[in-house]
Amino acid sequence: MSTPYVLMGLLAGGPKHGYDLKRAHDARLPRAKPLAFGQVYATLGRLARDGLVTPAGQDQDAGPERTSYTLTDTGHAALTTWLATVEPPLPHLTSVLLAKVVVALLVTDISQARGYLVAQRAAHTTRLRELTALKTDPDATLSDVIAADYGIAHLDADLRWLQTTLARVADLHKEIAR
Amino acid sequence: MSILHARGVVRAFGHTPALRGVTLAIAEGEIVAVTGPSGCGKSTLLHCLAGILRPDAGEVIYRDHRIDTLSEGGRSRLRRTEFGVLFQFGQLVSELTAAENVALPLLLAGTGRRAARTAALSWLDRLGVADLADQRPGEMSGGQQQRCALARALVTEPRVLFCDEPTGALDSLTGEQVLSHLVRVARQQGTTVLLATHDARVAGYADREIALRDGQVDPSGFGVEAAIR
């Protein structure tokens, strides 16, 4: 789970209170699932308990009093270690898409399987078009573009994999028919 | 209201069929991606629709007029006045500067030198390469050349722009910049665009997609023989 580290990364720039952290998180990761306020405060509580962040004072601009938090030296060290740790690239080749396509190619109801594959491809291309429109919008921020690029690259990979899979299975069928 | 229409278009090269009865309609101002794997007939389709190739059978209708029956001269006039074409490699004339390359279609159409240069400079500016006006293609990067080629394709303000793998020779970020310019200008001008590509990311810039498989429109969109039928 990366939320604690994302919050620590946001605190690396200077003290912030929970409300600012939530807004900064949603701005930096605009296409991620928005962070609930409750999750921000619960995470800050755990980080404080573990000595990774510490309260840095109270703010009260027009609204209710808020506690600001700052990153501790231990927090800085934990963040550095996390950033230096390479993520295992695809350790398990599993996904719902993979499972569904494999099952679709096995099932006996051919029209249903074909219908699923065509509908799935259409859903992927529609989403790819939406993300392309999002990133080419003149008002798109760099964070929007980076997030859209991430989605587009993954959708494109799925589409190419779907196409290659169909071609491979078609080749296999031809081979068997000979 | 469709601006371009193909009905049962067939085209072969020798004994090899490239298009086997393609029917489609393109609405004015639409950006349409023609997709499919190598050899599926994308380029041949674009060339037939643009009047570069004549189909063996079928009809190509542009604004209610058949263009497949026009003479070579008639199709050539149409390409100079109504259509713009952008290929994978910009195909700029290497001896000419960017401004001279962009002005070329206007000069061929009879525009005076000064007006043609002014229009060329304006288009180079719109595509963000005004500073390259006096450079020759050999002095430019691939992306810069392709933006100049796009300026040349648009300088006559064509109603339809045909693009055949326009970013196929570019790295992804440079290709994206060319596509962004292309789509932005096409929307501003109301230009209809047909974009042949095998790349889903490029097709993502279009309003919709027409997939080809073995010279025919493939409604499934896969462009490969569907394994399960």
Per the structure, how many domains does chain B have? 1
**Which among B184, B199, B229 has CB closest to A110?**
B229
- For chain B, which residues lie within 8 Å of any Cβ of chain A, measuring from their own Cβ? 37, 180, 183-184, 199-201, 203-206, 209, 220-229
Number of C-beta neighbours around residue B125 at 10 A: 13
pTM for this prediction: 0.82
For A30-85, the pLDDT digits (tens) are 877 788 889 999 999 999 999 999 998 887 665 666 889 999 999 999 999 998 88
Residue B44 lies in a domain: no
Q: Which residues in chain A belong to E strands, given as ranges?
A: 16-17, 53-59, 66-71
Structural domain boundaries, residue B101: 92-156
Side chain identity, residue A85: T
**Which among B205, B225, B229 has CB closest to A132?**
B205
For B209-228, the pLDDT digits (tens) are 999 989 999 887 776 554 44
Predicted local confidence at residue A176, as pLDDT? 64
Q: What is the rounded CA–CA span in Å between residue B108 and residue B105?
A: 5
How close, in Å, is residue A101 to chain B by CA atoms?
A: 12
Residues 6+ apart with CB under 8 A from B35: B42, B196, B197, B198, B200, B203, B209, B210, B211, B212, B221, B223
Predicted local confidence at residue A113, as pLDDT? 72
Probe site for chain B from A142, A156, A165, A174 (most B CB atoms < 10 A) = A156
Residue B138 lies in a domain: yes
Predicted local confidence at residue A34, as pLDDT? 81
| Proportion of chain A above pLDDT 70, given as a percent | 88
Domains of chain A, by residue range, sit at: 3-84, 96-177
Q: What is the rounded CA–CA span in Å between residue B51 and residue B6?
A: 12
Predicted local confidence at residue B82, as pLDDT? 93
Cα(first)–Cα(last) distance of chain A, in Å? Answer: 51
The reply to whether residue A125 touches residue B209, judged by beta carbons under 8 angstroms, is yes
Residue B152 lies in a domain: yes
For B57-91, the pLDDT digits (tens) are 999 999 999 999 999 999 998 988 899 999 887 68
Average pLDDT over residues A129-158: 93
The reply to whether residue B224 touches residue A136, judged by beta carbons under 8 angstroms, is no
Highest mean pLDDT among A52-61, A165-174, B187-196: B187-196
Residue B212 lies in a domain: no
Closest to A136 measured CA to CA, from B183, B108, B149: B183
Residue B102 lies in a domain: yes
- Is the pLDDT confidence value at A2 over 90? no
Would an 8 Å CB–CB cutoff place A131 in contact with chain B? yes
Q: What is the rounded CA–CA span in Å between residue B171 and residue B199?
A: 13
- Whether domain A3-84 has CATH 1.10.260.40: no
ipTM (interface predicted TM): 0.82
**φ, ψ of residue B37 in degrees (nearest 5):** -70, 170
Number of C-beta neighbours around residue A5 at 10 A: 17
Residue B119 lies in a domain: yes
